[in-house]
Structure 1
Amino acid sequence: MFIATLLSAPEKANLDRVTVESLRDAWAGGAAEWLNPGVAAEFELPEVPANRWQVWEGLQRLGVDLVIQPAEGRQKRMLLADMDSTMIQQECIDELADVAGVGDRVKDITARAMNGELDFEGALTERVGLLKGLPQSVIGQVIAERITFMPGGRELLATMKANGAYTVLVSGGFTAFTGHVAGTLGFDEARANTLLVADGHLTGEVARPILGREAKMQALTEVSARLGITHDQVMAVGDGANDLGMLGMAGAGVALHAKPAVAAQCDIRINHGDLTALLYIQGYRVDQFA
């Protein structure tokens, strides 16, 4: 048995009953259940429809996401999350670069790396090099003035943890930022790269080994083994090419507002919903959010 979940952006709440019930009838699905009126609804399916992606494209034009997944085991016991443009709305290195006066150059490299056009490690090394000489104090300034959380993140963490899940923040970004994000949102642990500092200024180098695609996959393997759970019991979420490894390994790999080349390789694509979509696709109703 499978579950089809339809989702809209919570601030728009434009998922209507006609859309849900018309699709349910066309696919001979079960009774529709509203997880949050106007925002999320689901119904059972005996099989994955052959025209799934054609329907998905049509719904995208209406501002609606569609996710189809096996009904069994969809409530996960571990969350593995990327940070930049996933748990927060910015790319931290881009914000640092903007302060350093090299913003446009770094943003171009970041976009190409996240789209899989550049080697992640090489791109990170090049971008960090452009930050050489920046006062370390700028990091705190960026956190205070520029970093904002992705909507739904607090509810996602609190609800999954209240239901026994373990949460890990794993980022190709930097520990100076993951410490703040993990501490604020309540992640159980965090892994990231370390910016090297000397005499109160960034050296333009990052500590080795650099945490990228392979390290994110390693985190999934190590933590799930430590917890005694299978990869099928893990939900991973990210938006960039360096997330594809962990998204492919996880039982539910969610491409959240992802680059097109990344989303195309994932079955779960959230383009309109926020991070609460990760709760709805696990079957949580809005009144069950912590």
Structure 2
Amino acid sequence: MKSSAVVATLIADPRSIRLSDAHIARLAQGVGGFDSQRWLDEGVAADLLFTAPLDAVRAALTAALAGDPVDVIVQPAAHRAKRLLVADMDSTLIGQECVDELAAYAGVGDRVAAITERAMRGEIAFEPALRERVKLLAGLSESVIADVLRERIMLSPGARTLAFTMRAKGAYVAIVSGGFRQFTAAVRDRIGADEDRANTLAIEGGKLTGEVIEPILGHDAKLGALQAIAAAKGLALAETLAVGDGANDLAMLKAAGLGVAYRAKPKVAANADARIDHADLTALLYAQGISRQEFVEG
């Protein structure tokens, strides 16, 4: 592929729609500079190669697909395969917000969930919002963490396949979360990630103290983690992939070679260069040109 080429990856939600050659041909004809098509997973995911301005391809395909349960990621064709994945955890690798699940056990679920929603939407600053939520958990038994992990924390569809496949191809996989190490360590083991970075709940005498050990890993720290891990691995940011859903992920998403807003809050989805609203996390593999036959299920 030419370095100036642009690739658009279409990923359908197979529960709702199947892509066809005819459907793709109609889409491609509406965009100038169409060159070729390749199936990554017939009926589900396909690459369309263009020689045209990236923004023009993205705008045309996004408009053409409006209302369809099909995601489109448009990027330079060069350097698609990434060597570092940095992933948010809550509402990204897992379907829950851990602090909200703890709060439900503490009897303050609605109060904490409301603060979480505002913080993830970017309506209030992340760090003070986290302190406020954790304060409401003071006195909760440490044993509840294990209960929440066992009973409530579920991996998002495709999370294990994403991590296992990228590692099989030689990439490094890191979880970087504004949540808590007491959870990220377990999720790291479940998906087979290389490392996890997160905040730590303070615990004394078997109970949560209501405090987070400072400094808090938030918006700036997530960006810093992406940069630091890439530097430690000798990688350019163009070789990195980041995924997240909340406002504290946005700087990290903007800095990565490919930053993907995954079923994200409106502010994040509107400002990220790529978004996944319909497909599962394996869409990030298709976005790298990895076919279904190459997936490693783990």
| TM-based fold match above 0.5 | yes
Q: Structure 2 counterpart of 1:157, which letter?
A: A
Deviation by residue 1:15-44 (Cα, 9 ceiling, x = unmatched): 333321111122241222111122111110
The question of 1:226 aligning with 2:232 is answered: yes
- One-letter amino acid matched to 1:18: A
Q: Kindly state the Cα deviation for residue 55 of structure 1 after the two structures are TM-superposed.
A: 3.8
Residues 1:149 and 2:155 are matched in the alignment:
yes
Q: Answer yes or no: is 1:6 the counterpart of 2:10.
A: yes
Decide whether the 8 Å contact of 2:89 with 2:176 is kept in 1. Answer: yes
Runs (5+) with no aligned partner, structure 2: none
Q: SS in structure 1 opposite 2:71?
A: strand
Q: Unaligned stretches of 5+ in structure 1?
A: none
Match of 1:32 among 31, 37, 49: 37
Residue aligned with 2:166, SS: helix
Q: Deviations over 1:121-152 (max 9, x none)?
A: 00000000011111111110000000100101
1:46 aligns with 2:82: no
Q: Quick one: distance in 2 between partners of 1:49 and 1:25?
A: 17
Aligned partner of 1:46: which letter?
T
- Which aligned runs of 4 or more in structure 1 are off by greater than 6 angstroms? none
Which residue in the other structure is 2:222 paired with?
Answer: 216
The one-letter code of the counterpart of 1:42 is: D
Q: Distance in 2 between matches of 1:19 and 1:271?
A: 20
Is 2:260 the partner of 1:260? Answer: no
Q: Which residue of 1 aligns with 2:289?
A: 283
Q: Is the 1:24–1:32 contact (alpha carbons within 8 Å) kept by the matching residues of 2? A: no
> Secondary structure of the equivalent of 1:3?
strand
What number of residue pairs does the alignment pair up? 290
| 1:130-184, Cα deviation, whole Å (9 max, x unpaired) | 1111111111000000010010111111111111101110000001100100011
Q: CA–CA distance in 1 between the matches of 2:16 and 2:290?
A: 20
Tell me if structure 1 keeps the 8 A contact 2:30–2:60. no
> Shift of residue 14 of structure 1?
2.7
Query: Of the candidates 186, 193, 197, which is equivalent to residue 191 of structure 1?
Result: 197
Question: Match for 2:21 among 17, 22, 30?
Answer: 17
Q: Decide whether aligned partners of structure 1 residues 282 and 245 sit closer, same or farther in structure 2, where only a CA change above 3 A counts.
A: same
Query: Hey, what does 1:106 align to over in structure 2?
Result: 112
Q: Secondary structure at the match of 1:204?
A: strand
> Could you tell me whether the CA contact under 8 Å between 2:254 and 2:273 is conserved in 1?
no
Tell me how far 1:13 sits from its aligned partner.
4.8
Partners in 2 of 1:49 and 1:254 — Cα distance? 16
2:208 aligns with 202
Letter in 2 for 1:176: Q
Contact 1:257 1:272 in 2 (8 A): yes
Structure 1 residue 102, shift from structure 2 partner:
0.8
- The change in CA–CA distance for 1:138 and 1:57 in structure 2 (over 3 A counts) is farther
TM-score when normalising by structure 2: 0.94
Match of residue 161 from structure 1: 167
Structure 1 pair 72–54 and aligned structure 2 pair: CA distance change class (3 A): closer
